[in-house]
Structure 1
């Protein structure tokens, strides 16, 4: 008897004229900078890795990449990863409740990150069974993150079927850069109580870092009716990372991570008969996650390297609560009727309500002889008193496991030609009595490659493909082709065409969803355990979602002026989309929907001397969707602005603005200010910081029930480093 999902609706108008105007302005601005002859610089050229798995300059990447570096992460004052993603143009960040953040690139109905690949140091962290990302439960503390690279666009070519719309790669600090001890505590309003402790040590050929951390807050204060909203979170994390150089050619890197905690869940289930008390007020989730990874790197020569990476992960969610229902909801005959024709059950329920309010007008729905017979049996049960309340224990617990093995070969065939190729195998398993009636497993094989060809001084041609064989979803081949015109190594124009897929997850395609209610008091139909009448089975034959993407863009680094600029024009089409709500009483997934996005994105990072840094991002997204459920979670206008300032004498500040014109019909604007004082006392560094978040609107966050009593949030931190 689950809490129902949220309803979604409202269409956003399509208008591309503004995107053309913005593009012209950006190009004119770029032209002015070019006129100032700022191309050349002797400074080191930055590199990114996530786009193709090859180290490339941003101008040479076959797509758009946003890099959130450690200085930006610290200055933002963010306590978790989704809040950092507000700095990424086109990223739609919202909340289902206080401990369930949502992050989607450009939008669509699925509030979990089912269309994004999320990695921690190259290890995929989306859950295999329910194919979502529990942002709260990722066992990585903000303080351990060195940088986050976000590839904005389809990248199935490099990372497989979940990278339909983008890739978020969270890169942690190297153990060698984490020597010493760090202690930090954060306290504030809304029940904020965070802590972090880390110690790192090094030896001639290696280094190790141990981190322990915790996070706690109360979530939103109340729902739209003023009632307390049960969505607090409490978690503790463990992370051990080590690096060992075995000799001049071999190195090993390994990690162990764990997380335990609990997330409250608001309880919104309404019994079949309104007079029945709902039972417990909540159904909290006890979460335990474990992960381990090992990476072996072999440098055969300066032009040739191999690496083998393996990982094992386990997710455990225990969710049990006590619920009350009318005895008839556990009727075997009503369950048989539901299995036969759920639409008939809906009509039958209306008939029963009509019997109570106006018996003279109630007419039993027409149906087959079997439907009529089962309906008659249920009516007899109702006449016999089956409307009495019964209460029992309900479970939504699930265990998920993933084993992943990958071999990658990087080869420079010549000064102008580089080839990356690889092979991987992944085993996924989900075990849940409620969702799968036991255990379900999947085997996935992948073969991938990327070729980079430098044609003269200016032209760079790149092509890649991934062949993927999914035991549950079938095979797919996804290509990408890109042409970059490098005006200089720091300035490039790009044209990219790529295709990507998303395989339906176990939950969508293979669910066998039924609630077994145990320890019934009083017994239902003479039994102490029974099965809730509404049950769902996955169709088993869903097709993959398919995306085709076209992109034109410019990336430039004006090193002498301290300016990094990226502009992207895009047109993306997704068809065979699975958009229907996946509720136990309304489970009809299909591939009937389609969606397209078009628009412009830009980001600017400007280092104005040693003391000031400005960072701007903006996205204009026009879209159309065949399903009204895919429309609400896309903001047509969204963006951010940040000003980082070093005031001297150990004082620094970060001022950030975030805005989106609508997410699920609600406007969002917020101003964040972080002020910090850094002091050195002997060999110990102390930093005191305060963060103020001020909402500039007075609307709920994403859903109407996500509300705070006050529009501001204040919290403070103290950090020792020795």
Structure 2
């Protein structure tokens, strides 16, 4: 006799629950309109029918949080780890990983990826977007390469900006506070003909951390100026056209030299420690949407963007650092070179037992008449320009009342141009074909499947898939069972880097040359394979008529062929030899229990294991948040938030945020004055031991005028 498939047993078992659902529908109610999730599968779906966990941060929550940055909003998402490398270097990782970079999560602004192609990072402090322009953020918590391609390995943050059609008028805002906070914002939205337009200009500035753990002052301030112009046109009853122009200019302070810059730092001038990064971003995007019928939609999206990073400084080192022997030893044994440097710094001889190459370096250093001990200074840079062109076609078709099909294809071209990182330019082309099928088997069962085929000229081909079964107790309450596979392509820096520093304008010259390559070099292996994630999830999502929303997730995630070695030019050893897995549970509760009161709670427990020891410190096992928002009437409102994580990079984090606001009405104008206070409840440095503030409390005030 043929064996019955396990899926049939599961459906049969769950169907036994159907009779009691008549009473369940009466209890839960179906009168309120269902909220919609827009970005999880690219289809509009009710939260209970989504094949995964999604956190929604709406406009009210954004304003009540008082956050100045998107990473701070991510503290409201269960399982998100927000880390600070410096005051102007922030990372966001879902469930953890490397704190210095966030390479495994896709970030979209109105469908446009801001994941940099060359160095494969998201510059959170340099995003060309003011938080005042954000309408909504959806965070898909889990792998989603079937919808958004490789690099959506652990999740997708989809940011939607405010529509010009719904925000006519003028808004002006100014924020000032401790730690050098000095932000401003202005926007004007209007209609003309068949279009609505909004122009917003904004600026952001702060001074970063106050000091390091050895009481040195910290040069990690940031400053940015942004322009965002958006337009939407109703071409006719069935067609819309949206387009945007975005620009950003700013600078981020840097002043700490890296190990590769001085072999014997104590006996040579440091040079110019001003390594500030000048950042400029530009983008243009367009989206055309056509409804050929009530059951069919066609959408075309195209965008172009460019990232420019200029980081130039003057450095000094010993002439010894430019010798072939030092370069050869660095390639052969970087750790031995560090030992040699320590001995030379202490003016000690190199023992013959260290090896002939190390011994020869010491002999040359002491017996060359002082020539190799002379300081040589020159100009060096980390400049890089990255560009991306993306064209995508998406088709949404309702085959019947119970069956919907989304399909599409896209082409993307990425370019990275850097003499330091790639000895010139490097290109990559990516073709994608994707699809998602949603089938309502009955009133209570939804079966979904999706896949994406991707061909990458630098990384090869990949095929990822997802299958999910949602059991709808009612349309507002569902239990989900999800299995998905995802990949992350090795980025250009990991796999294809040709990293070396050409120091120019040398003073004094080296043997008549005014330029020379530094001893440290790194070469990408060129044959890295894609990382693979396999994820299993069981969850529940419920939307109650009395304002309560609950999401619960149990998960098991495994990442194989993990590329985890540090991207360090002095010891560049990238491979697929590592792994990492996560198991745990998350919950999110959002309850508007009166028209004036809203409570939001999140909690995450993450158990994990990894073969890369540096990753073991970068996941908080317990983390969460709690927030209470209240409208007191007569223009008064307040919000109180708590954020906590037990250990992130071996440091506890606890903070309470309070915001009190008063709104005044002057006819057609509104003025809001707000006080924001953050109070650290722990006495730890933030993520890294160097990141210290003089005071645990920070206060800022803001004034916003709308007319």
Normalised by the length of structure 1, the TM-score is 0.92
Tell me the equivalent position of 1:308.
300
Residues 20-35 of structure 1 mapped to structure 2, 5 A cutoff: none
Tell me the equivalent position of 2:5.
none
Tell me the equivalent position of 1:539.
525
Q: CA deviation at 1:331?
A: 2.1
Q: How many aligned residue pairs are there?
A: 683
Tell me the equivalent position of 1:188.
177
- Over 3 Å counting, the alpha-carbon distance change for 1:135 and 1:337 in structure 2 is same
Residues 1:136 and 2:125 aligned together = yes
Match of 1:342 among 312, 332, 340: 332
Q: CA deviation at 1:691?
A: 0.3
- 3-state SS, counterpart of residue 352 of structure 2: coil
Tell me the equivalent position of 1:419.
405
Residues 485-500 of structure 1 mapped to structure 2, 5 A cutoff: 485-500=471-486
Q: CA deviation at 1:373?
A: 11
CA distance in 2, matches of 1:290, 1:486: 44
CA contact (8 A) 1:395 1:434 kept: yes
- Over 3 Å counting, the alpha-carbon distance change for 1:47 and 1:361 in structure 2 is closer
Tell me the equivalent position of 1:8.
none
Q: CA deviation at 1:458?
A: 0.3
Q: Which is further off, 523-532 or 214-223?
A: 523-532
Q: CA deviation at 1:524?
A: 2.5
Tell me the equivalent position of 2:15.
none
CA distance in 1, matches of 2:336, 2:607: 40
CA distance in 2, matches of 1:283, 1:355: 27
Tell me the equivalent position of 1:163.
152
Q: CA deviation at 1:528?
A: 1.4
Q: CA deviation at 1:633?
A: 1.0
What are the superposed Cα offsets for residues 387-437 of structure 1, whole Å, 9 maximum, x if unpaired? 111111110010000000000000000000000000000000000000000
- 3-state SS, counterpart of residue 587 of structure 1: coil
- 3-state SS, counterpart of residue 38 of structure 1: helix
- 3-state SS, counterpart of residue 78 of structure 1: coil
Q: CA deviation at 1:520?
A: 1.3
- 3-state SS, counterpart of residue 592 of structure 2: strand
CA distance in 2, matches of 1:192, 1:496: 44
Tell me the equivalent position of 1:10.
none
CA contact (8 A) 1:89 1:639 kept: yes
Residues 1:42 and 2:28 aligned together = no
- 3-state SS, counterpart of residue 640 of structure 2: strand
Tell me the equivalent position of 2:386.
400
Residues 90-239 of structure 1 mapped to structure 2, 5 A cutoff: 90-109=79-98, 111-203=100-192, 205-239=194-228
- Over 3 Å counting, the alpha-carbon distance change for 1:157 and 1:110 in structure 2 is farther
Normalised by the length of structure 2, the TM-score is 0.94
Residues 1:695 and 2:680 aligned together = yes
Residues 1:443 and 2:443 aligned together = no
CA contact (8 A) 1:331 1:525 kept: no
Match of 2:450 among 449, 460, 464: 464
- Over 3 Å counting, the alpha-carbon distance change for 1:357 and 1:284 in structure 2 is closer
What are the superposed Cα offsets for residues 212-241 of structure 1, whole Å, 9 maximum, x if unpaired? 000000000001111101100000000000
CA contact (8 A) 1:334 1:374 kept: no
Tell me the equivalent position of 1:327.
319
CA contact (8 A) 1:109 1:631 kept: no
CA distance in 1, matches of 2:659, 2:205: 20
Q: Which runs of 5+ in 2 are unaligned?
A: 1-19
CA distance in 1, matches of 2:444, 2:324: 72
Match of 1:295 among 271, 274, 287: 287
Q: CA deviation at 1:582?
A: 0.8
CA distance in 1, matches of 2:642, 2:166: 31
- Over 3 Å counting, the alpha-carbon distance change for 1:417 and 1:661 in structure 2 is same
Cα RMSD of the aligned pairs, angstroms, is 1.9
Q: Which runs of 5+ in 1 are unaligned?
A: 1-30
- Over 3 Å counting, the alpha-carbon distance change for 1:486 and 1:531 in structure 2 is same
CA distance in 2, matches of 1:118, 1:567: 23
- 3-state SS, counterpart of residue 525 of structure 2: coil
Q: CA deviation at 1:365?
A: 3.8
Q: CA deviation at 1:264?
A: 0.6
- 3-state SS, counterpart of residue 275 of structure 2: coil
Larger RCO: Structure 1 or Structure 2 (Cα < 8 Å, ≥ 6 residues apart)? 1
CA contact (8 A) 2:340 2:358 kept: no
Residues 1:655 and 2:629 aligned together = no
Q: CA deviation at 1:375?
A: 5.4
Q: CA deviation at 1:247?
A: 1.2
Residues 571-586 of structure 1 mapped to structure 2, 5 A cutoff: 571-586=556-571
- 3-state SS, counterpart of residue 662 of structure 1: coil
- 3-state SS, counterpart of residue 420 of structure 2: helix
Residues 634-645 of structure 1 mapped to structure 2, 5 A cutoff: 634-645=619-630
Q: CA deviation at 1:180?
A: 0.2
- 3-state SS, counterpart of residue 533 of structure 1: strand
CA distance in 2, matches of 1:624, 1:412: 43
Match of 1:602 among 577, 587, 606: 587
CA distance in 2, matches of 1:69, 1:361: 63
CA contact (8 A) 1:351 1:364 kept: no
Q: CA deviation at 1:266?
A: 3.3
CA contact (8 A) 1:75 1:644 kept: yes
CA distance in 1, matches of 2:247, 2:284: 9
CA distance in 1, matches of 2:24, 2:407: 41
What are the superposed Cα offsets for residues 252-294 of structure 1, whole Å, 9 maximum, x if unpaired? 1000001000001131335211221211223100000001100
Residues 1:503 and 2:495 aligned together = no
- Over 3 Å counting, the alpha-carbon distance change for 1:302 and 1:359 in structure 2 is closer
